[in-house]
Amino acid sequence: MVYMTEKLIKNPKTFISYSWSSPEYENRIIKLAEDLMSEGVEVILDKWHLRDGHDANAFMEKMVNDPEITKVIIACDKAYQSKADKRKGGVGTEAQIISSKLYSEQEQDKFVAVIFERDEAGEACTPTYYTSRIYIDFTNIEEESLQFERLVRWIYDKPVHVPPPLGKVPKYITDGDIAAKISTSVKYKRAIEAIKTNKPYFVASLSEYFEELIAGLEHFRPDTNFDPFDDAVIKMIENFIPYRNEIINLFEALAKFSPDMSYLDETIKFLESFYKFTDRPENISRFRDWDWDVFKFLHHEVFLYIIAVLIKRGNFIEAETLINGGYYISLANQQPSLEDISVFRPYLTSLESRKSRLKLRRISLHADLLKERCVGINLSFADLMQADFVLYIARYIHVNDSRRIPWYPITLLYASYHHTGFEIFIRAETDVGFKKLQTLLGIEGIEKIDNLITRIKSGEVKQPSYDHETISVPHFLNYEKLGIRNK
């Protein structure tokens, strides 16, 4: 296949226009021609092809006008610039022909300037007729190999950067209505760049992005009069995917590049601000419980993914801070309070209604949606289930009130298909791995885990169950093997 591909690409024919500035410079041009020949480019050079007795002007004119010459390289130094501008000598003759071609023809990809010298002001030595056009820079020896590849690609019409395939028309266009859209693109790119380059303002950039996103969440509030309402909920949840992916990418970058945990305060404020949308606004007095289901689902999903990213990337202290920390919750007509993450665990009436309306034989549409949407990102659904299970274990370890359900891991509905267990608990068989698990759960030693298992065996704590299937917490916790391998 490689052989056939090479055969299909015709060897291009290229002419080099240059000035006889000095023997050293002429040798550099010859070396360039030799290098191009080695890359399959047939180079026409006066040193090789202009013989005694030939008409030099006719040769130059033919090289520029010949249709078989697909590319013309204008090798520029100070001497070439001066002769071209003054129309002096052979360079002046070539300049007259080339400039007329550049100005008269629409297709201008036959000519390119290759810069070998700059003037005292640091400007490229190009003829006046070439001013403002893109050139290839050979003035920096250290980058010459990269510029040479760029030149070869130009000759073959094979640039490095090409447009991606044209996608389908977005659903928010074909659906015939105005879909929710937030202008986060600029602030997202600024935040990503600041995080990856460790700019001192990266936390401020992150805060700006969060503020822009929160300000635009109102666009995702569905029309409560839409019938069936669950269709409106599903549509808005689907429309949020690009922004969910932005959030995931931001936390991937933070987990890899952030020098400290200074971003956690902004993350907590973001989650608190987002949570306000899961309850009625102050200006609404008549409502149904399911009116805020879009935001309940999205807030829960975003929180799960943030924890999943931090666990996968080994940022256990940061994850533990978010799991076991307090959140300032201030909702309409309610006293502000400090709550744990149990308030982030939603029940979605609209999805239960949808299941009944469409007669869907599904245990949980909430879990189904989370699984179906786990695409186009650097996390697997196993990563999401692992985060959900960690949240369940961490909260039950720290909450001794049997009347409360501090976290319900809805994604573990699919755990029966994940018999091997979760990575963080398997790695905890070693001392090092168990210490990391202790950090993640916010515990010292194994006593609190022992206590949880005792409460489960006594029936005080119910293991997650879905339909007629119960998830074995000791199995997925890898309880019998925690910390037994001393490496």
Assign 88 a pLDDT band (cuts: 50, 70, 90). confident
Co-location of 188 and 86 in the same domain: no
| 180 neighbors 239 (Cβ within 8 angstroms) | yes
Strand 111-115 with 71-76, pairing: parallel
Q: pLDDT tier at 172 (50, 70, 90 boundaries)?
A: very low
Contacts of residue 123, defined as CB under 8 A and 6 or more positions apart, other chains included, come to none
Distance CA 84, CA 126 (A): 9
Q: At what angle do helices 293-312 and 229-239 cross, to 10 degrees?
A: 30
* Distance of alpha carbon 237 from the chain centroid: 20
Cα(246)–Cα(377) distance, integer angstroms: 10
Domain boundary among 338, 372, 393: 393
What is the distance between the alpha carbons of residues 368 and 472, in angstroms, rounded to a whole number?
21
Q: In which band, very low, low, confident or very high, does the pLDDT at 289 lie, cut at 50, 70 and 90?
A: confident
Q: Which of 88-92, 185-189, 457-461 has the lowest mean pLDDT?
A: 88-92
Q: Could you tell me the CATH number of the domain that includes residue 57?
A: 3.40.50.10140
Q: Is the peptide bond before 228 cis (omega within 30 degrees of 0)?
A: yes
- Total domain count for the chain? 2
Q: Is the Cβ–Cβ distance between 91 and 17 less than 8 Å?
A: yes
Tell me the average pLDDT across 333-340. Answer: 90
Residues 95 and 200 in one domain: no
Residues 223 and 100 grouped into a single domain: no
Query: Per-residue pLDDT for 178 more than 80?
Result: no
Among residues 341, 367, 393, which one ends one of the domains? 393
Residue 75, domain member (yes or no): yes
Query: Is the residue at 456 inside a domain?
Result: no
- Tokens, residue 213: 């996103």
Angle at 332 between CA 224 and CA 227, to 5 degrees: 5
Let me know if residue 193 belongs to a domain.
yes
- Is the confidence at residue 3, as pLDDT, over 60? no
Residue 387 CA to residue 302 CA, distance in Å, equals: 12
The predicted pLDDT at position 170 comes to 58
Q: Which of 103-117, 164-178, 184-198 has the lowest mean pLDDT?
A: 164-178
Report yes or no: 68 and 15 within 8 Å, Cβ to Cβ.
no
Among candidate residues 440, 418, 436, the one with its CA nearest the CA of residue 427: 436
List Cβ neighbours of 115 (8 Å cut-off, separation of 6 or more). 76, 124, 125, 126, 135, 136, 137, 138, 139
CB 16 within 8 A of CB 32: yes
| Residue from 226, 363, 212, 240 nearest 301 by CA | 240
Say yes or no: 188 and 134 in one domain.
no
Residues 255 and 389 in one domain: yes
Give the integer Cα–Cα distance in Å for 451 and 94.
89
What's the domain range around 87? 13-156
- Is there a single domain that holds both residue 274 and residue 180? yes
Half-sphere exposure of 147 (CA within 13 A, CB side): 17
3-state secondary structure of 421: coil
Listed in sequence order, the residues at least 6 apart from 135 whose beta carbon sits closer than 8 Å to its beta carbon are: 76, 112, 113, 114, 115, 124, 126
Mean pLDDT score of the chain, rounded to an integer? 87
- The pLDDT assigned to 20 comes to 87
The tokens describing 125, both together, are 């030595």
**CA–CA distance, 173 with 406 (Å, rounded to integer):** 41
Calculate mean pLDDT across residues 284-294. 83
In a domain, 419, yes or no: no
Residues 202 and 286 in one domain: yes
Segment holding 329, helix H or strand E: strand 327-329
**Residues 193 and 318 reside in one and the same domain:** yes
The DSSP H or E segment spanning 145 is helix 144-156
Nearest residue to 384 (alpha-carbon basis) of 344, 414, 345, 352: 414
CA-wise closest residue to 124 among 147, 105, 154: 147
* Confidence at residue 486, expressed as pLDDT on a 0 to 100 scale: 44
Question: 199 and 251: one domain?
Answer: yes
Does the structure show a pLDDT above 50 at 324? Answer: yes
DSSP letters for 250-305 = HHHHHHHH-SSSTTHHHHHHHHHHHHGGGS--TT--S--GGGGHHHHHHHHHHHHH
| Rounded Cα–Cα distance for residues 76 and 406 (Å) | 72
* Poorest-pLDDT segment among 132-136, 290-294, 449-453: 132-136
Q: Is 101 domain-assigned?
A: yes
Residues 150 and 192 both lie in one domain: no
State residue 285's pLDDT score. Answer: 67
pTM for this one?
Answer: 0.65
Average pLDDT over residues 453-481: 90
CA distances (Å), 311 to each of 203, 317, 370, 382, 425, in order?
A: 21, 9, 18, 12, 11
Among 426, 447, 424, which residue's Cα sits nearest to residue 436? 424
Q: Which of 94, 95, 116 is nearest to 24 (CA)?
A: 116
Which tens digits make up the pLDDT trace of 453-463? 999 999 899 89
The 8-class DSSP code of residue 163 comes to P
Same domain, 337 and 222: yes
Q: What is the mean pLDDT of residues 131-141?
A: 86
Q: Examine residue 199 and state whether it is found in any structural domain, yes or no.
A: yes
Between strands 42-44 and 13-17, the pairing is parallel
Residue whose C-alpha is closest to residue 61's, from 115, 104, 13, 101? 101
For residue 430, report the phi and psi dihedrals to the nearest 5 degrees. -90, 160
C-alpha–C-alpha distance, residues 17 and 70, integer Å: 14
Residue 220 lies in a domain: yes
Same domain? 101 vs 147 = yes
For position 65, what pLDDT does the model report? 75
Last residue of a domain, one of 393, 417, 446: 393
pLDDT of 217: 93
